[in-house]
A = this chain, B = another copy of it.
């Protein structure tokens, strides 16, 4: 895609052929340029100026330029042409520009991490807990439930199973999301959405991970709940309440339901209170 394209930039009788950057249209009247091969900075700037001029004539709005990290030499020239950063991943930087004089409606960058906390209780009412080697809990002696970050493209329910397996070696079945917590400024300016997940253990033999986990054990629930840290902090108290209500009461969280996307047929999960939904017959006259 990264070789310049020849287009007719002028339709008024005189054929006017100009080199532009290779680009595709997006769903919002914008343009996406994915640079793939190295290009001399001066050539790039010349093409970029001609392209912007042509896209302006066409009434295009947002312009996205994706630069792989090995094309880092094009970052400075792109910014000098008025682009700004949109987002970055380890191997590329995405820059954007807004052509019209109207308000810029380029969507914001991803602002959240999805994070899981896994409640795994065995038949003896022991809770699967760990002590971590780094982070805020390092050296505190606090026993906590396994937690971890959902990978890009990973489903929450699968992330919960993966993290428990990685940290403790325990296989689990995902049951429900018991609660969701949104926390701001969790990693620099980004927020975390924590899914507190109820899991059922499918194995009991703990094999702790060396890299991040100091210790792991099945701990009697009362002993976990009696930790001063757990008693002192609201989130941890609520995790305790949720466990207890799940053990003795009738708490229903959200269970995962696979659904197909309206636009690209991809599978995704809808988490909802399936008991309440299933207990209800939809009146036929409502449709």
Asked if A87 meets B84 with Cβ closer than 8 Å, knowing A188-B94, A189-B153, A193-B112, the reply is no
Chain copies in the assembled complex: 2
Q: How large is the interface on A (under 10, 10 to 19, 20 to 34, 35 or more residues)?
A: 35 or more
Q: Is A33 an interface residue (CB 8 A)?
A: no
Whether B103 lies near A152 (C-beta < 8 A) is: no
Give chain A interface residues in 44-81, CB to chain B under 8 Å: 69, 72-73, 75-76, 79-80
Whether A112 lies near B114 (C-beta < 8 A) is: yes
Residues of B within 8 A of A111 (CB): 110, 112-114, 150-153
Cα separation A241 to B272 with both chains bound (whole Å): 11
Residues of B within 8 A of A178 (CB): 272-273
Whether B156 lies near A182 (C-beta < 8 A) is: yes
Residues of B within 8 A of A135 (CB): 27-28
Asked if A112 meets B113 with Cβ closer than 8 Å, knowing A153-B189, A179-B271, A276-B250, the reply is yes
Q: Is A108 an interface residue (CB 8 A)?
A: yes
Cα separation A107 to B152 with both chains bound (whole Å): 12
Q: Is A11 an interface residue (CB 8 A)?
A: no
Beyond A152-B190, A181-B269, list 4 extra A-B contacts (CB 8 Å).
A27-B138, A69-B79, A72-B75, A88-B93
